[in-house]
Amino acid sequence: MKFFDFTYLGKRPSDFGAYVHVATHDIGFPSKVKTVVTVPYSNQVYDFSTVGGVQPYNERKVTYVINVVNKYGYDQVSMHQLKTEIANWLYSSNSKTELYDDKLPDYHFLAELQEEADLKDDIRSGELTVVFTCYPFMIANKFEGDDEWDTFDFETGIAQNVNFKINGSRTINLINDSVIPATPEITTDAPLTIQIGGNLYQVSVGVSKEIPLQTGTNRIDVTGQGNISFAWRREVI
């Protein structure tokens, strides 16, 4: 039987014993942050949630129930030892870090175990429930523009060039298929001028991360002499 586990901080539940594995996955969805004002003595409601141009979301929860089998023996002392090893692993990060779920092979979460884990156990086995607090969106494992045939997602992937040679001026169309605007890493080997969305940017040699891509197709006009590349990951709900 194939078990679908998760990887966090370089480890998996099965690293703590052959019979330690995830029993259930609950991938929660984020809720929207709504800012609404009700007009007194009226049924009219004004929604100001997207005044900043983007609908904000609350953090999401990802919950796992892990079957724990005592690999050390049949007593409370060794069971407590195993519980401590697992807890030290799960609680060792003090900020959100990558969480990879086997059921979502193309994406990962940014997660931290903040809530108290719950373990119901006897001397031999138990169930450990852990609730990760996560960044609202799932993040693609691969950068946009990576269209390697063997790993390309033919269902939702977009094949597009993200590396360009500029010789005078050139218009580039980049598709940001995320549900929110993206801020790509832009790498250049010469000073270039970029115009996007009516805004003008001067980029120097090296890596910059200050020019946003809106959702959908972005027209980018680049002038100068040199090479430019864009790197960002898709973010989805």
Cβ-contact 226, 188 below 8 angstroms? yes
What is the rounded average pLDDT of the residues 129-157?
80
Residue 149 scores a pLDDT above 60 = no
Backbone angles phi, psi at 68, to 5 degrees: -115, 125
Question: What pLDDT, in 10s, does the model give residues 103-117?
Answer: 999 999 999 999 998
The band of 209, judged by pLDDT with boundaries at 50, 70 and 90, is: very high
Model confidence pTM above 0.85? yes
Question: What pLDDT, in 10s, does the model give residues 157-199?
Answer: 688 999 999 999 999 999 999 999 999 999 999 999 999 988 9
Pairing of strands 107-113, 60-69: unpaired
Distance CA 68, CA 22 (A): 9
Per-residue DSSP letters for the chain? -----EEETTB-GGGG-TT-EEEEEEEPPPPB---EEEPTTSS-EEE-TTTTSS--B--EEEEEEEEEE-SS-SSHHHHHHHHHHHHHHHT--SS-EEEEETT-TTEEEEEEE-SPPEEEE-SSEEEEEEEEEE-SSEEESS-TT---TTT--TTT------EEEEEEEEEEEEEE-SSS-B--EEEESS-EEEEETTEEEEE-SEEE----B-SEEEEEEEEEEEEEEEE---EE-
What is the rounded average pLDDT of the residues 106-130?
90
**Lowest-confidence pick of 29-38, 41-50, 175-184, 193-202:** 41-50
**How much of the chain, in percent, has pLDDT values that exceed 90?**
70
